[in-house]
Amino acid sequence: MASHRALLSAMLLTYLFVSFTEAREFLVGSKTNAWKIPSSEAESLNKWAEASRFQIGDSLVWNYDPSKDSVLQVSEKDFESCSTSSPIAVYKDGSTKVKLDRSGAFYFISGAEGHCEKGQKLVTVVLSVRRQFSYVSPAPSPVDFEGPAVAPTSGGASLRGGLMVVFGFLVGLVFF
């Protein structure tokens, strides 16, 4: 019984270690100087954010000319109305880094007059811990595919889970 408890403890410590070391930095828009008025809907930063998966502990990084622009973190209401009157936080340094410290939505707008109204704004959604470590996805319907079956590939999440089990087992062997 003690060895099971030790193994579970080792696995928990491994899980915590892996969880805390996974934080990533995302350059907003995936390129320098992406914080600007989009020229089209396809260039919208929200399209970029929708294709990204943000987790608690990740950070967003903006690069922009601080003499011409800023980043405001705002409420959902202020995001929708492009109101700059009561921001949650104001960033004016030209190289802004914001840590995503909770699950849910984060709203950002440009502090330059008229830019938000022209589409210079960003909403990101940070996955909850439960969703973040979900390994099973529903199988697609057989009618979705017309070709031969494709062999499954391993994802980073399942690899991480496998590494955690192996590391936990090794820690259990060393300490107990």
Domains in the chain: boundaries? 23-131
For 92-121, write each residue's pLDDT tens digit.
999 999 999 999 999 999 999 999 999 999
Tokens read off for 98: 């914001």
Residues in contact with 28: Cβ distance below 8 Å, sequence separation at least 6, in sequence order: 34, 35, 45, 48, 60, 61, 62, 122
Task: Determine which helix (DSSP H) or strand (DSSP E) holds 2, and give its type and residue range.
Answer: helix 2-20
Task: Name the band, by pLDDT with cuts 50, 70 and 90, for residue 37.
Answer: very high
CB atoms within 10 A of CB 90: 13
For 130-160, write each residue's pLDDT tens digit.
654 444 444 444 444 344 444 444 344 444 5
State the chain's maximal CA–CA distance in angstroms: 65
Task: Determine which helix (DSSP H) or strand (DSSP E) holds 104, and give its type and residue range.
Answer: strand 104-110
Residue 49: pLDDT above 50? Answer: yes
pTM of this prediction?
A: 0.63
Q: Distances in Å between the alpha carbon of 29 and those of 11, 152, 155?
A: 36, 30, 24
Across the chain, what does the average pLDDT equal? 77
- Give yes or no for a contact between 65 and 93, defined as CB atoms under 8 angstroms apart: no
Instruction: For residues 9-32, give the mean pLDDT.
Output: 70
> Which phi and psi (to 5°) does residue 147 adopt?
-100, -175
Question: Could you give the 3-state DSSP secondary structure of residue 160?
Answer: helix
Q: Which residues, in sequence order, are bridge partners of residue 45? A: none
Residue 85: pLDDT above 80? Answer: yes
Task: Name the band, by pLDDT with cuts 50, 70 and 90, for residue 168.
Answer: low
**Per CATH, the architecture of 23-131 is what?**
Sandwich (2.60)
Task: Name the band, by pLDDT with cuts 50, 70 and 90, for residue 76.
Answer: very high
